[in-house]
Structure 1
């Protein structure tokens, strides 16, 4: 048997991968058997050109190279194992014994076929995708210019508004100065006129006395009446306290907040199967493991019978609210530092602290969100047809407000100042949040910018991403002996973990940022836990209903 055909690979049809190939499509580069030619010609292309495969084989360059070992011989064979052309003498030498040997023509044909397939993939699959990406990038750059132009215009417009307001303030101050100056001048003019009149009377008296003294008419003397006693009593001096202007110190941080804030630039790099997020607003903290057994560090007694909401002002002071119309600030020793009475005299639904340290509270009776600045309560947001429920501050300085409507709807709205920026209400399966006019829904922002809502009406934690797209729902850890999961307060820590109160089961659930249950905190003698917050060291503070206590727990 000719050794060239020992252990030779049979070239198969590209379509069925079963029958030996006999034809070749010059347009597509596919090699075909007899049965698959008709099927291939039915594909939606008009340029098919099917020729016998022998035509392709014969059209290959048959100018065989000389063997490097047997220089007088041509390399008409190919050793698959050695991956090199060989001659018939190489076969006889036994060096390639038991190696897979193929015909050099078939080898070239096979490689040519592979090149044709690569060309087809590059030309008709890969290149069009890159062209589309390039086109999308050009469109994105055009839109980028428009977007940043709008941003610049908005900032410029805001600046013009401030200039107008400042011009009005300056104008009003100048007008007030002019009015005070006019009043002051009028008082001095009156005093000057009075003195001038008295001076004139004195001069007249002097002339009268000289006339009497120079006259020989003795009858004039008895007729003279002295006015010296009147002149001796000096008129009162008008004392004017001059006005002054005391410019207030300019707080650049507060000015920036009042002017408006730019949300952080968020850049997302997407790969198949996962999303890697980078953001200017989020940095990576050091990894802190959860301790095996959470530890009760301190119990803080307050003057309140019912504690519902707590939020940290700083690591030493904490705001609280409950079933009274008073919001109170305590230190960690339980000393009352400050009390704020709500403007309407009604119970606040929730409290939060802004990045600049201002207190924010929601008033469901007046349908307002209010801010306490410099001991003054300012109305920030007023709603129509909706009742504000709970509120949180975000890393960008926005406020997230969860609210319920008079017609049985619930939603989350993002505000920049008093301006509505975003509404989160629905997803592919309908409404995101349950409706109950009296149920509280607590809200917080995670460090990855997810928005987390504890929905007691739905017995679930519902999490969406920054764009408002649904991520996951957590309905409690499956333990059949427990009372139904009823979440209340919710917070997140430096690790992006989500902590939520399970009020009636008297414990805290800890989840990772993807909603996977990590562990319970159920060993710290919690009594009807309700409100939650963490400080910058990841110490957990828990407000207890009915007993008026806060518990500080170390769990990291």
Structure 2
């Protein structure tokens, strides 16, 4: 190993490479021993500034002149747009050209790079993230509409009985094919956007490396690509076909069943973003000054604790018995299912495909109900599952408590654990030990937990890094804040139930308090929001679910 590279040896002079260094020439960026200082200063062909090594300043990494090997480029030719040395300046090659100091040029270029990096990090890249989130939301709506479309086809098939069975299958096959093509188009669109995002990440990483290196050559040769990325990628738009049904005519069953409208997959060219100062995102749906109850559902539980939206007019509910009920807005029972263990379900959630998920604290399982068949998808060891939610990517987030009263959030894809969130950057627990905890994924992919025991809403980003804790309205010092149910909407609002004060908190995505929802609520517990941002609130002791319009 070279002696100057060894961690076992002292640093040596760059000239003689035998004597320990003591000084440093800031202009030549070279380390010198006592004996070599005089020799170095005797070179009068360039300037020197020798200082004690420990007093050296961070110096630019001067580029060596390609035409004069013993010279460093300390100047910049504006006309040729290249760094040059003093010999280049005095030669005829750059005669009459505007020459500037390389440090001034470096400063200007560095400022330009900083602005590019800031715009990429704070304006452009977040818009790409927003586009991906929007596509995920549209996919969820697409799934819901296709589910309804398939249901309509089934109902029509039941009316026509056996004579129309073949046609029913034919239409359902066409629906599935259309759905597959549209989902493929949206997935491809997502991949294209994600690829662009990867490019942006690489550019931002390169810019950070350039800025950190202080390299004149890299800085001067940098070419901004911000304009290229200001034009957002094309946006795929899909239109779900409709089913037009006619009265039954046995001679014309195929026509009477109804035909599907043509498949529609359109691509919109991406918008070109305005300058950073002009970019703004006003809320699409402002909050109502006075929210109102639009429907009340009697569930019959004693008490009631959870609600999950299947559609705008159908909700799954569960309370303190083994039966989970699907009810409509008129309180009519559509379906009821008992837990596999015969014990009380801890919580329920509805997947993007319209299936029901429930957690069973008594036997440490998470279960999926599909076509009224119960399948255990997760069995835990040493941990008990609490509350659960389904994400935009169709993963499951599960709050779980250990026998030692530790708490964590775990992400699952099917039965596979993908992520565990338990501690902050300092190794401290993010969540309180034991007690009630409820969770929801926000539109910006934050994971929001209502920690009842800690009297706080704890929000981490999708990587599990703590963003903030909200512990109640700062002006409210008399009433305690003990959040229970939690949900989020299309505007990235965070809504959490405050049962002891009989109201709902609304926060923005950064934890700022916006307002309360009262609506004569009495001990609100479970919350969910449907695709149109209607809020469903499960009242614990009245066993009623209230549908509330607040946007």
Q: Shorter-chain TM-score: which interval?
A: 0.5 to 0.7
Task: Find the aligned partners of 2:362 and 2:236 in 1 and give their Cα distance.
Answer: 36
2:362 to 365, 370, 376: 365
The question of 1:502 aligning with 2:498 is answered yes
User: Structure 1 residues 405, 58: closer, same or farther in 2, change over 3 A?
Assistant: closer
The answer to whether the 8 A contact 1:534-1:541 is kept is yes
Q: Tell me which residue corresponds to 2:288.
A: 291
1:471 Cα deviation (Å)?
1.1
* Residue 538 (str. 1) matches residue 533 (str. 2): yes
Q: 1:279 and 1:478 mapped to 2: Cα distance?
A: 42
| CA pair 116-329 structure 1, distance change in 2 beyond 3 A | closer
Q: Deviations over 1:409-437 (max 9, x none)?
A: 11111111111111111112434443444
Cα deviation 1:213-272 (Å, max 9, x = unaligned): xxxxxxxxxxxxxxxxxxxxxxxxxxxxxxxxxx99987889xx9xxx999765375779
Specify whether residues 39 and 441 from structure 1 end up closer, same or farther in structure 2 by C-alpha distance, changes over 3 A only.
Answer: same
1:434 counterpart = 2:431: yes
Change (3 A) 1:58 1:532: closer
Report the 3-state secondary structure (helix = DSSP H, G, I; strand = E; otherwise coil) of the residue aligned with 1:504. Answer: helix
Deviations 1:95-118 (A, max 9, x none): xxxxxxxxxxxxx99x75x43324
Distance 1:405 1:281 in 2: 45
Q: Which residue of 1 aligns with 2:303?
A: 306
Q: Deviations over 1:492-517 (max 9, x none)?
A: 11111110001101111101111111
Q: Give runs of aligned pairs for residues 20-35 of structure 1, distance below 5 A.
A: 27=28
Q: 2:102 aligns with which of 116, 131, 135?
A: 116
- The alpha-carbon distance between structure 1 residues 302 and 126, as it changes in their structure 2 partners (threshold 3 A), is closer
Deviation at 1:482, TM superposition (A): 3.6
Pairs within 5 Å for 1:333-482:
333-437=330-434, 439-482=435-478
Secondary structure at the counterpart of residue 533 of structure 1: strand
The C-alpha deviation readout for 1:338-360, integer Å capped at 9, x for no partner, is 11111101111110011111100
> Equivalent residues in 2 for 1:90-169 (5 A)?
112=99, 114-118=100-104
Q: Distance in 2 between matches of 1:378 and 1:393?
A: 16
SS at match of 2:521: coil
Cα 1:59–1:354 change in 2 (3 A) is closer
Q: CA deviation at 1:299?
A: 2.3
Which residue of the partner structure matches residue 550 of structure 2?
555
Cα distance, 1:291 vs structure 2: 1.1
How much does 1:465 deviate?
Answer: 1.2
CA distance in 1, matches of 2:322, 2:539: 18
CA shift in 2, pair 1:120/1:369, >3 Å = closer
For 2:362, what is the secondary structure of its paired residue?
coil
- Contact 1:285–1:495 (8 Å) recurs in 2: no
Render the CA deviation track for 1:421-465: whole Å, top value 9, x for unaligned: 11111112434443444x221111111111111111111111111
Can you list the C-alpha shifts for 1:118-172, whole angstroms capped at 9, x where unaligned? 466699x89999xxxxxxxxxxxxxxxxxxxxxxxxxxxxxxxxxxxxxxxxxxx
* Corresponding pairs, count: 348
Q: Is the 8 A contact 1:511 1:518 kept in 2?
A: yes
Q: Is the 8 A contact 1:444 1:452 kept in 2?
A: yes
Residue pair 1:281, 1:395 contacting (<8 A) in 2 also: no
What's the TM-score once normalised by structure 1's chain length?
0.54
Higher alpha-carbon Rg? 1
1:319 alignment partner in structure 2 = 316
- Displacement of 1:527 in angstroms is 0.4
Q: Distance in 1 between matches of 2:465 and 2:236?
A: 19
Query: Which residue of 2 is the match for residue 527 of structure 1?
Result: 522
Structure 2: distance between partners of 1:279 and 1:408? 47
Contact 2:311 2:530 in 1 (8 A): yes
Structure 1 residue 25, shift from structure 2 partner: 8.8
User: 2 CA distance for matches of 1:282 and 1:530?
Assistant: 39
Offset of residue 479 of structure 1: 3.8
Unaligned runs of 5+ in 2: 1-24, 30-47, 63-69, 73-84, 115-168, 209-229, 238-280
Q: Aligned in 2, Cα 1:331/1:282: closer, same or farther, shift over 3 Å? A: farther
| Distance across 1 between alignment mates of 2:234 and 2:394 | 14
Q: TM-score, normalised by structure 2?
A: 0.55
SS of the counterpart of 2:463? coil
Cα RMSD of the aligned pairs, angstroms, is: 4.6
In structure 2, do the counterparts of structure 1 residues 370 and 509 end up closer, same or farther at CA, with 3 Å as the change threshold? Answer: same
Q: Deviations over 1:258-295 (max 9, x none)?
A: xxx9997653757799xx9x999999997100011212
